[in-house]
Amino acid sequence: MSSAEARRHALVKLGNLEQTKNSYRGAAGFSFLESLLQDARSSIRTLRKSPGFTTVAVLPLALGIAASTVVFSVVYNVFVHALPY
């Protein structure tokens, strides 16, 4: 088989090269997003099944965020905002 005939046969069998490139790029670009959504759904299902664990996991996070906000607000108002410049 000549090289031109082999190329034609390969293009017919495999499809258009540009179409293959575009489909690969599209699949590669969303695989991270799809796996992220799948992990989020799995996490939400797990947290719904065990409300005790959810409370133990979420409560310290909420307290830590609140404490950090209070500390930074106090530091800002006492040290930064009180300066005369």
Count of alpha carbons within 13 angstroms of residue 71, beta-carbon side:
6
Q: Contact 34/40 with Cβ under 8 angstroms?
A: no
User: How many separate domains does the chain show?
Assistant: 2
Regarding whether 61 and 76 lie in a shared domain, the answer is yes
Regarding whether 77 and 54 lie in a shared domain, the answer is yes
Residue 6 has pLDDT above 80, yes or no: yes
Regarding whether 60 and 44 lie in a shared domain, the answer is no
Band of the pLDDT at 25, cuts 50, 70, 90?
low
Q: What is the CA radius of gyration of the chain?
A: 28
The pLDDT score that the predictor gives to residue 26 is 61
Position 69, amino acid: T
pLDDT tens by residue, 46-73 = 999 999 999 998 999 999 999 999 999 9
Domain of residue 5 covers 1-49
Tokens of 65: 């965020």
Regarding whether 12 and 34 lie in a shared domain, the answer is yes
Mean pLDDT of the chain: 85
Regarding whether 68 and 40 lie in a shared domain, the answer is no
Regarding whether 61 and 37 lie in a shared domain, the answer is no
First-last CA distance in the chain: 84
Q: Does the global pTM surpass 0.75?
A: no
Regarding whether 76 and 45 lie in a shared domain, the answer is no
